[in-house]
Structure 1
Amino acid sequence: MLCISIKEFLLWKKKQLSKGGDQQSFAVLLDCLGGISINDQNFMSLNPEGKLYLKKNLNYLGSIWDNHLLDSQPIQYLCGITFWRNLKLKVSNKVLIPRSETELIVDIVLNKFGKKSEKFFFAELGTGSGAISIALALAYPLSNGIATDIDQDALEVAIENYRNASKQSNLDFFCGNWWDPLESLRGKLDFAISNPPYIPKDTYEKLPKEVKNFEPKVALLGGEDGLKHIREIIQNAPLFLKEKGWLILENHFDQGEKVKQLLLKNKFTSIEIIKDLSGIGRFTIGRYK
């Protein structure tokens, strides 16, 4: 640990932010690599005469920040870590960086299924870093889940995150495309969740370079209209859900009504389009019969 004065640190921080970038990314850098929690960062200015301890020296932290500014690579990839809900997750360019709005998908499940003493069986299709499934496995220790991903490298990241986050054994991981790894589980799921690739092709081409140049295309691009994977998931969901089982999907901001129609066409009921904190219809859910 390196000890420096808070006054020196605040001067250095001001200099780094003057180069560009945003406060949130800089806070992630300091937390992940510097060892200074976001709470500690917020209270520093109240005691500028104090001392603080760093895991890495200022020159090293500054060089990472410079790399981030130079090519717009997400700070989470440079640090190899991101924070999501109450989880600290490993990330690499093999997985999408889990977004804060996706945290609400866990809250949707909590609202539907209630207490942690509940026992159910769920699957997440396209788990990526494992964020959603891990959060649910921790919230419902008496339940069991399956997390799938088409990319074995992504799955290894998710497995490591689960091992780091929990000593439980209520979450299993399988490699394969959407429902393919779950053939032996037909008719057994209480609910299934997916945050699939849903970006339409034209929109994908216009994404910011920090997304398009670094995050995995396979986790973003949803075909010409963005609904390619959502269609497949919905069409096959009735084979795997129990009667009255739920399907919970994240979709693009303007896809809610189209996803609703796909659910109706496949005999889902109790369909809702749920808005995120920005008032966007980010999630569409339905119950099978």
Structure 2
Amino acid sequence: MPSISVKEFLFWKKTQLSKGGDHQSLALLLDSIGGISNSDLNLSRIKSSDNLYLKKNLGYLESLWDDHLLNSSPIQYLCGITFWRDLKLEVTDKILIPRPETELIVDIVFKIFAKKSQKLFFAELGTGSGAISIALALAYPLWDGIATDIDQDILEIANKNYMNCSDKSNLKFSCGHWWNPLESFKGKFDLAISNPPYIPKETYEKLPEEVKNFEPKIALLGGEDGLKHIREIIQKAPFFLREKGWLILENHFDQGEKVKQLLIKNKFKSVEIVNDLSGVGRFTIGRYK
């Protein structure tokens, strides 16, 4: 295991940040690949005479950092992990990197259901890394959930993420297109959630290269108007939700009103557009009848 003095390491770190990038991305690289956490670094500053022990040498870490800076490679893919809420999740380039704004979906659920003790049954359509479903399964251990995805390889990673975060068994995974794997649960769900592909085709072509060139197109592109998948999910939701069951959707910043009308057209009540922390109408929610 390579070792380095604290002074030398801190100089190396400063040099890397002088090239560009941000502290958080470099911290992710150092923690996941180098084996040096922020708490390790803070402690080392106190004991500056000690050496640090790395999982990988500085040359290798620097090569990954340079790849991130020069080629716009997402640091999460280079590291194979990402942090979301209080979860540490494995990701690959087949999985959309879960965004900080999506964390608010969990807070919306908390607001609707509070910390109720009764058992509820929820579904997440298009789970990706499993982030949303895992967060809910941990917060509501009495609930049962099923998370779906169209790709079995992705589901295996989501399941692995769940097992790494929990010793419970209140979350299952099922492979297929949106509602299709849930045919045997029609009329059973108290809550359904989805962060589907919603980027309109024209907007997709203009996305930053670190997104467009690396993240999976299938998880981003929502057809010509961005509403292809949202439309399908809403239209079929009444067959799967219980009466007064909730549907929570993430959508593009300018789609809230259109999604709201789709929900109303399909007999949803208490329909509301919920803003993210930037004041953008990022989520649309409704209760079935």
Normalised-by-shorter TM-score class: over 0.9
Q: CA separation in 1, counterparts of 2:40 and 2:134? A: 27
Q: CA separation in 1, counterparts of 2:25 and 2:116? A: 33
**Residue-by-residue CA offset, 1:71-126 (whole Å, 9 max, x unaligned):** 21111111111111111110001110001111111111112111163310000000
| 1:6 corresponds to | 6
Task: Assess, with a 3 A threshold, how the Cα gap between structure 1 residues 101 and 39 changes in structure 2: closer, same or farther.
Answer: farther
| 1:218 corresponds to | 218
Task: Assess, with a 3 A threshold, how the Cα gap between structure 1 residues 269 and 18 changes in structure 2: closer, same or farther.
Answer: same
State whether structure 2 residue 129 is matched by structure 1 residue 129. Answer: yes
Offset, 1:56: 2.0
Task: Assess, with a 3 A threshold, how the Cα gap between structure 1 residues 262 and 44 changes in structure 2: closer, same or farther.
Answer: farther
Could you tell which deviates more after superposition, 47-56 or 130-139? 47-56
| 2:59 corresponds to | 59
The answer (yes or no) to whether the contact 1:116–1:142 under 8 Å persists in 2 is: no
1:31-110 to 2 correspondences below 5 Å = 31-41=31-41, 48-110=48-110
Q: CA separation in 2, counterparts of 1:92 and 1:150? A: 15
Q: CA separation in 1, counterparts of 2:258 and 2:178? A: 20
| 2:230 corresponds to | 230
What is the one-letter code of the residue matched to 1:248? I
Aligned-partner SS, 1:221: coil
| 1:279 corresponds to | 279
Aligned-partner SS, 1:55: coil
Q: CA separation in 2, counterparts of 1:112 and 1:278? A: 21
Offset, 1:27: 1.6
What is the one-letter code of the residue matched to 2:171? L
| 2:247 corresponds to | 247
Offset, 1:41: 4.6
Could you tell which deviates more after superposition, 248-257 or 19-28? 19-28
What is the one-letter code of the residue matched to 2:74? P
Q: CA separation in 2, counterparts of 1:204 and 1:242? A: 35
Q: CA separation in 2, counterparts of 1:287 and 1:135? A: 22
Q: CA separation in 1, counterparts of 2:281 and 2:40? A: 35
State whether structure 2 residue 233 is matched by structure 1 residue 259. Answer: no
Q: CA separation in 1, counterparts of 2:41 and 2:237? A: 45
State whether structure 2 residue 154 is matched by structure 1 residue 154. Answer: yes
State whether structure 2 residue 154 is matched by structure 1 residue 115. Answer: no
Q: CA separation in 1, counterparts of 2:61 and 2:97? A: 21
Structure 2 stretches of 5 or more lacking a match?
none
The answer (yes or no) to whether the contact 1:201–1:221 under 8 Å persists in 2 is: yes
Offset, 1:46: 6.4
Offset, 1:65: 0.8
Could you tell which deviates more after superposition, 6-15 or 220-229? 6-15
Offset, 1:167: 1.4
What is the one-letter code of the residue matched to 1:69? L
Output the aligned Cα RMSD: 1.6
State, as a whole percentage, how many aligned pairs show the same letter. Answer: 76
Q: Give TM-score, length-normalised by structure 1.
A: 0.95
| 1:21 corresponds to | 21
The answer (yes or no) to whether the contact 1:6–1:50 under 8 Å persists in 2 is: yes
The answer (yes or no) to whether the contact 1:150–1:176 under 8 Å persists in 2 is: yes
Aligned-partner SS, 2:169: coil
Q: CA separation in 1, counterparts of 2:229 and 2:43? A: 45
| 2:169 corresponds to | 169
Offset, 1:279: 1.1
What is the one-letter code of the residue matched to 2:270? S
What is the one-letter code of the residue matched to 1:15? T
**Residue-by-residue CA offset, 1:24-68 (whole Å, 9 max, x unaligned):** 211211121122223455676666555433222211211111222
Q: CA separation in 2, counterparts of 1:63 and 1:220? A: 29
Offset, 1:21: 2.1
Aligned-partner SS, 1:89: strand
Aligned-partner SS, 1:56: coil
Q: Give TM-score, length-normalised by structure 2.
A: 0.95
State whether structure 2 residue 204 is matched by structure 1 residue 204. Answer: yes
